[in-house]
Chain A
Amino acid sequence: MPEQFTRLTSRTLVLPQANIDTDQIIPARFLTTTTRDGLGSAAFYDWRYGPDGALVPDAQLNTIDPAEHRILVAGDNFACGSSREHAPWALLDYGFRVIVSTGIADIFASNALKNGLVPVIVDADTHARLLADPGGRVTVDVECCELIAGNEPPVKFVIDPFARRCLLDGVDTLGWLVDRLPAIDSFEARTA
């Protein structure tokens, strides 16, 4: 069941590259797991560790305290590529709760929401401001659908009403769908 999310204020971590694909977020060789847990150690693995497996000390992700930087501001078309849900699992386990970009890939956004990781799409100006202020304090409010950076006026963002309800109330979507079984039964009877 996803963790609830109402409002979060945190520092940002900025990864400005466009098209950061899910193979970067978690390389395929870490997908041979049968649980959802502990994938934070593999998040951005090839950015954080060298070919010899040694930590790259000046890699940005190694210089921050993940507990302090829970909002990831990323370049356009974030998390494109593979549909692996291991990507949001790894990001959440690493410490992120929000992804902000001008574009977030469809399947990733859907996977993220099911796990309580909030995808926030912003306009290019807001994005540019956030990119220019790495480590800045940002508030993301799912109740009001607002992002507030520093002293700037709040920026509205759009989130699907059902997804928003799931985040605010921690709705169990599988349970919700299981409750619809009578309608599914009648569809099957009708089309059989």
Chain B
Amino acid sequence: MPPPEPRTLFDKLWDANLVEPERADAPAILYVGLHLVHEVTSPQAFAELNQRDLRVRRPDRTYATLDHSTPTLPPAASGARTYVTAAAAAQVDQLRANCERHGVRLADWDSHDRGVVHVMAPELGLTQPGMVVVCGDSHTATHGAFGALAFGIGTSEVAHVLATQCLLQRKPKQMRVTVDGRLGPGVSAKDLTLAVVNRIGFGGGSGHVIEYAGDAIRVLGMEGRMTLCNMSIEAGARAGMIAPDETTFAYLRGRRHAPEDFEAAVAKWRAFVTDDGARFDSEIQIDAATISPMATFGTTPDASIAIGAPTPSARDDSERQALHYMGFAAGAPTTDHAIDVVFVGSCTNGRLTDLRDAAAVLRGRRVKEGVRMLVVPGSESVKQQAEAEGLDRVFIDAGAEWRLPGCSMCIAMNGDFVGAGQLAVSTSNRNFEGRQGKGARTILASPATAAASAVTGKLTDPRAFLEAAHA
């Protein structure tokens, strides 16, 4: 018998979850191991089921949370939540009613599990290697950090999964991004992520799934891996993934929804790695040692440079428009512009390690007069752990606002937003025109950079602060 064809991690994930293979005239049917649901992209899907008198097929594989449009301020004295509009409140009520009707678990306001969907699910041990994980949200790629095939879907597909636990899919192309070497001191997973998106280009990963490999990936903790996989969509790829290893297993061990026979599960999960000699449609190599703290200067997430480097000149009308919108001049660094708002949070950088990074810079310092800094933990669990460590005090003492968990200024649909014309340094993932509020101008950066920028009032490389702290 000839030796079996070497397969990639993706090939193995695909094969393991294949209900029916694709044919010329029909896509493959893929089985979904975990379906995450939130209030914004699910109401029309539940309505579709209800109209057809269909039930949620696997409530045990479905988990819902409130995150996108929920207020991050505490309730009023009456106990009422301060929703931005009646429509936002109605959307949350609708999700609650849908979950009740279909027996779907919901991390509601009173739940300690509630959080941004991509922060909460891994914490609960719901996300596991070998699974297909989907959600009506493009940053579902985050869960690929566990060696899962995880991608965002539209609302019609949310209905498909609710009703059948399956999706119709064509096999994508595959790209491998190998990052060797070590990140320098004070250079974070977010800097690596921005460098990777810059290298692939916005849309450069279109039609592909990405596997991240190499020494620099292996030494990342799960939080850093999630930050990297999270922004795969910013390179146009639907999914990003990292083969599971001891770091993955150690993270999952003891989590509430981890498998009961954990060792047996680990034995199975170890198979989810790319075989030697497996082929990718494209390969990219990056040397981690060349990466400095990064920040975006344009209105697409790939438009990033090392902090302090001169702003590149525009190559076309879109880039000219981006510089004009941002108010930046080609040839000059973006570090002399006054910052109005700093946002630390989101599914990219709203985890405990991110808050620790920001707090390490802020400890004993103050947010500059005139700068508004908002720190929004990614989940209730992150919030509790941060408070147990006293990070909330560091932020509050520095003059920042410490909020309840949610998406907040990342998508600016809950009442937290950056004002028109204001310049923000944000740890989120999108710097599109108006993403953080109409007319808002966004610089994407790491939590440490965000904190350093809050202190100086200008975009700032955080390494000087960290060296001072260590000296």
Which residues of A does B touch, CB under 8 Å? 16-19, 21, 23-24, 27-29, 31-36, 46, 51, 75-77, 80-85, 88, 103, 105-107, 110-111, 114-115, 160-162, 165, 173-174, 177-178, 180-181, 183-184, 187-188, 191
Contacts and interface: CB of A to CB of B under 8 A. Distances in A.
B163 A80 contact: no
Contact of A105 (B153, B157, B206, B411): B206
B318 A81 contact: no
B43 interface: yes
Interface residues of B, number: 67
Given A183-B20, A184-B164, 6 more contacts: A19-B202, A34-B94, A46-B434, A81-B430, A110-B154, A180-B20
Nearest to B412: A28
Contacts of A18: 316, 318
A14 B316 CA distance: 17
26 contacts: A17-B318, A18-B316, A19-B203, A19-B300, A21-B430, A23-B432, A29-B412, A29-B413, A32-B69, A35-B47, A51-B439, A77-B203, A77-B206, A81-B138, A84-B41, A85-B44, A88-B154, A105-B206, A106-B172, A106-B207, A107-B153, A111-B157, A162-B168, A173-B156, A174-B52, A183-B29
Best-buried of B54, B238, B321 by chain A (most CB within 10 Å): B238
B296 interface: no
A66 B136 CA distance: 29
B48 interface: yes
Task: List the 4 shortest-distance A-B pairs measured between CB atoms, nearest first.
Answer: A111-B154, A77-B203, A34-B43, A85-B154
B54 A178 contact: yes
Interface stretch (B84-92, B101-109, B256-264, B361-369): B84-92
Contacts of A115: 156
B438 A80 contact: no
B236 A35 contact: no
B341 interface: no
Contacts, number: 169
Nearest to A17: B318
Contacts of B25: 161-162, 165
Contact of B88 (A32, A51, A184): A32
Nearest to B19: A187
B46 to A, nearest CB: 9
B117 interface: no
Interface in B152-181: 152-157, 159-160, 163-166, 168, 170, 172
A114 B41 CA distance: 15
